[in-house]
Structure 1
Amino acid sequence: MTSTTPPPSALPVVELVNAGFAYEDGPAVLSGVDFSVAEGRAVALLGRNGSGKTTLLRLLSGGLRCGSGSLLLDGAEVAYDRKGLTRLRTIVQLVTQDPDDQLFAASVAQDVSFGPMNLGLPEEEVRLRVAEALEALDITALADRPTHLLSYGQRKRAAIAGAVAMRPRVLIMDEPTAGLDPHGQERLLDALRRLRETGTTVLMATHDVDLALRWADEAAVLSPAGLRTGPVAELLGDDALLDAARLRRPWGTAVARLLRTRGLLPAGAPEPRTPEDLDAWMGARVETEAKESSASA
């Protein structure tokens, strides 16, 4: 499959350095965390409930302030004053798990326009950004729809459109596919693909290991031992890490192991990440075997 996603940059856009955080009168949720998001990547953040995923996302987006360590933006420490946080939030946008936490205006277009208007942009620029964001999330037809009349999936996409209208370099989402039916998930993933093609870096917290394996370039897994990052297939193929994080094995990893055990998938060959990948692989194998049989006849 070909991709038009821009090549990644080695430099992190946003980065936590030795970061720690504890809620008032509570134990540490995160401690000594080093985590960076590089430009042009799709990153899946995984971990059990209570592992600190949402806290980590809020630290990256400035919604929470590090109790220890620091938050860097383009290599410079973020100042938690009005100027510093405004700059951070024009570059990094967070979409929360519940869209009703973010939707409040009378119509979809009004809601999506809120962020750009707060930047003091000219009216024509605001209209352009709203139109682009609605198109990117495939909800242009809903522009004048009252937000309280939207379906759950439509509300999810409207909330993301509000973040996209800010034209962030990094879009952070907390469980964006939770509560969506399979069709809604596909529409959302298609919208995220289009955003990545325009240069948006995406970080997604999810419990869905199959989604992570299919969608992400890299994974970050929170377990009691801390945060571990790396290529998504490598981390989701580590049984000890998955056990520690209380995550199940992805479907694609299990299938690849079975194929290799039976000698059907050569070492180093790409692993199927989806049923469609497996269908394509089997079709190609059947075709190759038919040609070999014909040649030897």
Structure 2
Amino acid sequence: MSEPALVALRKASFSYEDGPPVLSGLDFEVREGRTLALLGRNGSGKTTLMRLLSGGLRPDAGELTLRGRPVAYDRKGLTRLRTTVQLVVQDPDDQLFAASVAQDVSFGPLNLGLPDAEVRARVDEALTALDIGHLADRPTHLLSYGQRKRTAIAGAVAMRPEVLVLDEPTAGLDPDGRERLLATLGGLCEGGTTVVMATHDVDLALLWADDAALLTPDGVRTGPASAMLARTDLLHRAGLRLPWGIAVERLLRARGLVSGAAAGPRTPEELAALAHAHADGPGPAPTAGA
């Protein structure tokens, strides 16, 4: 018998006041140790789903479970949920409010009533994980956009959650900032944190995620990222395009340059390396008289 999902929504429905249903009868689960990309068009319910997972919203019907146990929406139940699942919203300015980086990151652990020494240890650990230890005393209003993103994530990491849910974490970052953040998330995953990322970037999802969940008008479909993001029917219903890496792999397979179980290149750099390897390979056999 398989282990229950780390966190799951079962037959969950939700509507905002006086509005139509945003989610209806939704089944969605997060498996421990699997990076998960959540994709869908604007208005598909991604943000609502993430807020349901973190306890910011409560389903009108259905239930939220942690390791198979229903979440109770009382003080004890919500504390258990919020020490397990942490949500980082897209705009860091919606999350940062303290005078300095260290003060902001310490807010969550202080609210848990932890001893000062434990709070300091968690803050130091989170700042180190996000590579912003040198910014501990920096006023938050003097941070760059990328630094504010990292500070917001550090505040969630200081809670030591098992699941970190990120809403468009790479939006607004330059290429270097994006790569640094993805490397940081990789380190968190290696340390045992399960990361869920909502994104519109199908190329990023293909490159980064183990699994992909596509929100369509018919519900959510989840599976291995390479398989889900090759489903043009699901991508169309989710308002998404085919990832660059899948399109390139299909072309290379048609030309016999990729075969078997080998994956095609997922980035332009990998494509350039493949082209270079073929260019350096043995050329055609010489003709007679050459």
CA distance in 1, matches of 2:75, 2:182: 34
Does 1:267 find its partner at 2:260? Answer: yes
5 Å-filtered alignment, 1:63-78, equals 63-78=56-71
Report how far residue 10 of structure 1 moved.
Answer: 5.0
5 Å-filtered alignment, 1:1-297, equals 10-286=3-279, 289-290=281-282
Structure 2 counterpart of 1:174, one-letter code: D
Report how far residue 269 of structure 1 moved.
Answer: 1.7
CA distance in 2, matches of 1:230, 1:10: 17
Report how far residue 122 of structure 1 moved.
Answer: 1.2
Report how far residue 283 of structure 1 moved.
Answer: 4.5
Identical-residue share of aligned pairs (%): 69
CA distance in 2, matches of 1:24, 1:223: 22
Asked whether the 8 Å contact 2:252–2:264 carries over to 1, the reply is: no
Q: Which runs of 4+ in 1 moved over 4 A?
A: 283-287
Structure 1 counterpart of 2:245, one-letter code: G
CA distance in 2, matches of 1:158, 1:116: 15
CA distance in 1, matches of 2:51, 2:188: 21
What count of residue pairs does the alignment treat as equivalent?
Answer: 285
Match of 1:4 in 2: none
Match of 1:5 in 2: none
CA distance in 2, matches of 1:204, 1:180: 15
Greater mean deviation of Cα atoms: 153-162 or 121-130: 121-130
Report how far residue 280 of structure 1 moved.
Answer: 3.9
1:56-89 deviation per Cα after TM superposition (whole angstroms, max 9, x unaligned): 0000111000111100011100000010000000
CA distance in 2, matches of 1:94, 1:164: 10
Report how far residue 120 of structure 1 moved.
Answer: 1.1
Unaligned runs of 5+ in 1: 1-8
Q: TM-score, normalised by structure 1?
A: 0.92
1:8-34 deviation per Cα after TM superposition (whole angstroms, max 9, x unaligned): x95411000011111110110001111
1:82-108 deviation per Cα after TM superposition (whole angstroms, max 9, x unaligned): 100000000100001111111010000
Partner SS state of residue 45, structure 1: strand
CA distance in 2, matches of 1:78, 1:286: 58
Unaligned runs of 5+ in 2: 286-290
Partner SS state of residue 240, structure 1: helix
CA distance in 2, matches of 1:160, 1:106: 17
Asked whether the 8 Å contact 1:260–1:267 carries over to 2, the reply is: no
